[in-house]
Amino acid sequence: MANYNTNEFKGGLKIMLDGDPHTIVENEFVKPGKGQAFTRTKVRNLKTGRTVERTFKSGESVEGADVMDTEMQYLYSDGEMWHFMDPKSYEQLAADKTAIGDTHLWLIEEAMCEVTLFNGQPLAVSPPNFVEMAIKETDPGVRGDTATGGTKPAYMDTGAVVKVPLFIEEGEVIKIDTRTGEYVSRVKS
Amino acid sequence: MSDAPWQPGASLDVIKQSAALRACIRDYMQQHTVLEVVTPALSSAGSTDPNIHSFRAGNYYLHTSPEFPMKRLLAAYACDIYQIATVFRDGESGRNHNAEFSLLEWYRVGSDHLKLIDDVLALLQRVAQQFNRRCPAPNIIRYTEIVATLCEKSFQDVCVADVKKVFLHHNRSYPDAIGNDLDAALDLLIDEFVVAEFEPDQITVMLDYPASQASLARVSVNARQIPIAERFEIYWGRLELANGFHELSDSAEQRARFEKDQRIRRARGQQSVPMDEHLLQALASGLPDCAGVALGLDRLLMVLSNQQSIDQVLAFSTERA
């Protein structure tokens, strides 16, 4: 993997720090007129998701991280691993529990997901921003109640729990924003 | 930033303010009988300062400051002079840096750095008035004393490990690439623990720089018997605006400092840069006792026009050039 000099730093650059892949969130050039230049950064650890501040002496070089985002189709889970397929090459890869995180709540078969690969292996999986799911279980719908703004919990096959308006019925398909976990709308069948 | 890359970074309002700022400075200088001069941007010698990188232009170096030729003028004619110059520093780019920027370089004969601080503050006062800005009274702080306080020992005993300890104690990132470079460690210490605490509408004058950071300033001994540079910096908020010296006039000492710069450059594997023999000859022929200051006009404009980045006060920053 290529090395990057601090003067090549920019938001989104993937670098190796302390053995883990990181992405640069922010970087700022700092230099007193007569003194040493530094590059102050905020970096996010792609394994843990933690963001920390890190300062470099200008001119330092840092190893790049072999990290790439790729669109893959979710196939199935065997309980331990989640299996994805590259729709072009048909190559299959399996993501473990750490890489999947909470994303398993939003995985429905054949959905296209963004899989972040580190050294060719899944490091993180992002679900589509919106998914459509059928409600497995919820309290009976309150007819005609579209105005009060009340909500009730609805349970999905994946284990996700989404707050839905009172008029929604069991078995109905709803659209969910996976970034917030919130109900968006009813999907007319 | 405006959307398309062809568009200016600065609004028309800011461009008008930039023109007004220059007019105001010229007006002030005329009133104080300081002569405006022009010196070449292309020089056969470069800046040997290991932390300042000159651009090459054919067989010449683009100046990083008009300081050397202006001192030759001082040696020849001994009168107060100033210049508003575009200068070039390779590798400097960021929110407060642009590789090409405007310096007000200003010398007063028969003045030391302390007297010159009053002049610079008077100029800032005048400019602030023009822009309907309050120009607060300055806080005066001393570099070597601050370091001693932060490291909890006498300045002369402070070493790199002490500085690193301060960073670790405060849970801050410290780049080990600093190695044994004490001045680099001190620069970061000051930036992280001192400058970061400056209030936005506060003017700070920093005095008593360590002798190792004298650059082109005279060195003397302060009240605590510590050798210090007769140098100052002025900050407005967290922005470093100006750097001034009681100018070194000893040609032999100047040559020794250039040679030291060149040794550091070699050790760091940097490009070697010829020292300015014309300057050394001018010093040998006699530089009048004087003080000089370089003030970053783009940053001053950032303060006066309330802009957050240098790109917003330049018609076209290097990224748009």
A58: which chain B residues are within 8 Å (Cβ-Cβ)?
91
Asked if A32 is an interface residue toward chain B (Cβ–Cβ < 8 A), one would say yes
Cα–Cα distance, A32 to A28 (Å, whole number): 13
Q: Which helix (H) or strand (E) holds B290?
A: strand B290-296
Ordered by start, the domain boundaries in chain B are 1-136+292-321
What ipTM was predicted for this assembly? Answer: 0.93
Cβ-in-10-Å burial (0-12, 13-18, 19+) of A149 comes to: exposed
- The answer to whether the Cβ–Cβ distance between A33 and B294 falls below 8 Å is yes
Cα–Cα distance, A167 to A172 (Å, whole number): 11
Average pLDDT over residues A101-117: 92
- The answer to whether the Cβ–Cβ distance between B173 and A35 falls below 8 Å is no
DSSP designation for B238: T
Asked if A28 is an interface residue toward chain B (Cβ–Cβ < 8 A), one would say yes
Band of pLDDT at residue A140, cut at 50, 70 and 90 = confident
**Confidence check: pLDDT of A188 > 90:** no
Q: Which of residues 173-192 of B touch A (CB under 8 A)?
A: 173-175, 177-178, 181, 183-184, 187-188, 190-192
Q: In 10 A of CB B153, how many CB atoms? A: 13
Q: What is the CA radius of gyration of chain B?
A: 20
Cβ-in-10-Å burial (0-12, 13-18, 19+) of A171 comes to: exposed
Are B20 and B68 contacting, i.e. CB atoms less than 8 angstroms apart? no
Average pLDDT over residues A135-151: 80
Interface test with B, best of A5, A15, A28, A34 (most B CBs within 10 A): A34
Q: What is the pLDDT of residue A144?
A: 67
Cα–Cα distance, A180 to B144 (Å, whole number): 51
Q: With H, G, I as helix, E, B as strand and everything else as coil, classify residue A119.
A: coil
What is the distance in angstroms between the Cα of A59 and the nearest Cα belonging to chain B? 9
Band of pLDDT at residue B1, cut at 50, 70 and 90 = very low
Q: pLDDT of B214-245, one tens digit each?
A: 999 999 999 889 999 999 999 999 999 999 99
Q: pLDDT of A161-182, one tens digit each?
A: 999 999 999 999 999 999 999 9
Whole-prediction pTM: 0.86
> Average model confidence (pLDDT) for chain B?
96
CATH number, domain B1-136+292-321: 3.30.930.10
Asked if B67 is an interface residue toward chain A (Cβ–Cβ < 8 A), one would say no
